[in-house]
Amino acid sequence: MNLRRLAAVAKKECLHILRDPRSLYISIALPMMLLLLYGYALTLDVDRVPMVIWDQSETTESRELISRFTGSRYFTAQSFVSSYKEIEHSIDTRQALAALIIPTEFAQLLGGGEPTPVQLIVDGTDANTATLALGYAQVVALIYSQEIILQKVRQLRGQVLTVPLDVRARAWFNPDLESKNYIIPGLIAVIMMVISALLTSLTVAREWETGTMEQLISTPVKGPELITGKLIPYIFLGLLDVLLAVLMGEYLFHVPLRGNVALLFTMATVFLAGSMSLGMMISIVTKSQMVASQAAIVVTFLPSFLLSGFIFAISNMPTVIQWGTYLIPARYFITLLKGIYLKGIGLEVLALEAVLLVLFGVIVVLLANYKFKRKLV
């Protein structure tokens, strides 16, 4: 590989980028806009579930139970109703996602030590929110029940009784369980995958459409020199995007970065080289900027968003789909980012993901060179 010819191709591509504001917009402004949009809009936290309450008992005991729900950060009382018809209307119109119904004999049954039914209705159209809301409600009811039992035992025996099992749970690496702390690193990987492939998917196809590819073929520039020279400027642009994304995560979203920054950018370079080579290969095969851009979005965005473990846990997917996720490079980069960001771990734990990411980059670069050589013949 001739370094002089390589530098000439890289310089040519840099000049084209500088003369084309659209490329700069796509490479810098668009990733930041996507990170802002998804960073604020995409959240898995379920807090302040709107609830309507039908208190048929209207006693001190029922008001105490209601205060346990509304006093937590998981539920908020929208209104008090007096019939199932009002409850149905509130849930149908999305004014409330849950309804608490306390029966008339609530205080009597509770005072007599009998099982006391309390009904909770949850809107099941949103399965994730409904599951979490049911879990929160069960915990609130369980704590309230334990306090009543302990109080009754204390009154009967005249001694303080404690719960035999005292579970003290701790969440490592994300103690507040904020979804943004693992969504933002995943977003960086998904956005970089899409943008990098989209940028380079236009390079070779543009040369064919403008008629300059024949001139390049007639020069002594070899296939690997042409491909590598075109990749170098975009890799630097991609690293600039990663830097901006890291700064936004640190100062705008306040996501902790506990690991080695140098390792993060090293793995980002490997990932960008592979994803940009994938875009280059699409450009070589299609020879059309429109087709190449559409193919790049389909090949990168959907698999990276759905099958990388970014949103949906891979362990919950069917076995066949789980095997297919090993072909998604974003899967390894997301694991690396989350490990570096939240856990502060290095290659002693993430070596396998790093090796697989390097392997992906090498294979795609070789395929891009192979397909380009075939086009020269």
In a domain, 11, yes or no: yes
SS3 99: strand
Q: Are residues 122 and 68 in the same domain?
A: yes
In a domain, 238, yes or no: yes
pLDDT tier at 158 (50, 70, 90 boundaries)?
A: low
Angle, alpha carbons 266-272-278 (nearest 5°): 145
The predicted pLDDT at position 40 comes to 82
Q: Are residues 281 and 202 in the same domain?
A: yes
Closest CA to 231 of 273, 185, 192, 269: 273
In a domain, 173, yes or no: no
Closest CA to 365 of 227, 192, 196: 227
The predicted pLDDT at position 4 comes to 81
Q: Are residues 190 and 97 in the same domain?
A: no
The predicted pLDDT at position 315 comes to 85
Give CA–CA dist 333/329, Å, rounded: 7
Q: Which of 28-37, 83-92, 116-125 has the lowest mean pLDDT?
A: 28-37
SS3 103: coil
In a domain, 167, yes or no: no
Q: Are residues 35 and 102 in the same domain?
A: no
SS3 53: strand
**HSE-up of residue 302 (Cα within 13 Å, Cβ side):** 6
Q: Are residues 367 and 314 in the same domain?
A: yes
- The answer on pLDDT for 164 being more than 80 is no
Average pLDDT of the residues of the chain: 85
**Structure-token pair, residue 304:** 């990276």
Residue 115 zone, left/alpha/beta (φ > 0; ψ -120 to 50; rest): beta
Domain boundary, last residue among 123, 157, 191: 157
Q: Are residues 289 and 249 in the same domain?
A: yes
Evaluate whether 228 touches 366 at the Cβ level (below 8 Å): no
Closest CA to 13 of 235, 291, 240: 235
**What pLDDT digit, counting tens, does each position of 213-264 carry?**
667 767 777 778 888 888 888 899 889 999 999 999 989 888 989 999 999 9
The predicted pLDDT at position 203 comes to 77
Range of the domain at 14: 3-43+178-376
Domain boundary, last residue among 128, 157, 186: 157
**Structure-token pair, residue 318:** 């069917």
Q: Are residues 278 and 335 in the same domain?
A: yes
What is 185-203 written as a DSSP string? HHHHHHHHHHHHHHHHTTH
pLDDT tier at 111 (50, 70, 90 boundaries)?
A: confident
Q: Are residues 325 and 207 in the same domain?
A: yes
SS3 162: coil
- The answer on pLDDT for 160 being more than 50 is yes
Cβ-Cβ contacts under 8 Å for 27 (sequence gap 6 or more)? 17, 195, 199, 234, 237, 238, 240, 241
The predicted pLDDT at position 282 comes to 87
Span 273-296, average pLDDT: 84
The predicted pLDDT at position 191 comes to 87
Backbone φ and ψ for 226, nearest 5 degrees, come out as -65, -45
| Tokens 């073929």, located at residue | 217
pLDDT tier at 161 (50, 70, 90 boundaries)?
A: low
The predicted pLDDT at position 374 comes to 45
Q: Are residues 240 and 118 in the same domain?
A: no
The predicted pLDDT at position 373 comes to 62
The crossing angle, in degrees rounded to 10, of helices 203-210 and 223-251 is 130
Amino acid, single-letter form, for residue 362: V
In a domain, 163, yes or no: no
SS3 165: coil
Number of structural domains, the chain? 2
In a domain, 170, yes or no: no
Q: Are residues 215 and 259 in the same domain?
A: yes
The predicted pLDDT at position 370 comes to 82
Q: Are residues 18 and 102 in the same domain?
A: no
Query: Domain holding 126: CATH number?
Result: 3.40.1710.10
**HSE-up of residue 49 (Cα within 13 Å, Cβ side):** 30
pLDDT tier at 265 (50, 70, 90 boundaries)?
A: very high
Span 309-313, average pLDDT: 84
Q: Are residues 106 and 12 in the same domain?
A: no
Span 175-188, average pLDDT: 84
Report the DSSP beta bridge partners of residue 122. Answer: 98
Span 3-22, average pLDDT: 80
**Structure-token pair, residue 144:** 């309230």
Backbone φ and ψ for 73, nearest 5 degrees, come out as -85, 5
Evaluate whether 100 touches 74 at the Cβ level (below 8 Å): no
In a domain, 165, yes or no: no
In a domain, 17, yes or no: yes
Q: Terminal CA-to-CA distance of the chain, rounded, Å?
A: 19
Evaluate whether 174 touches 44 at the Cβ level (below 8 Å): no
pTM value is: 0.80
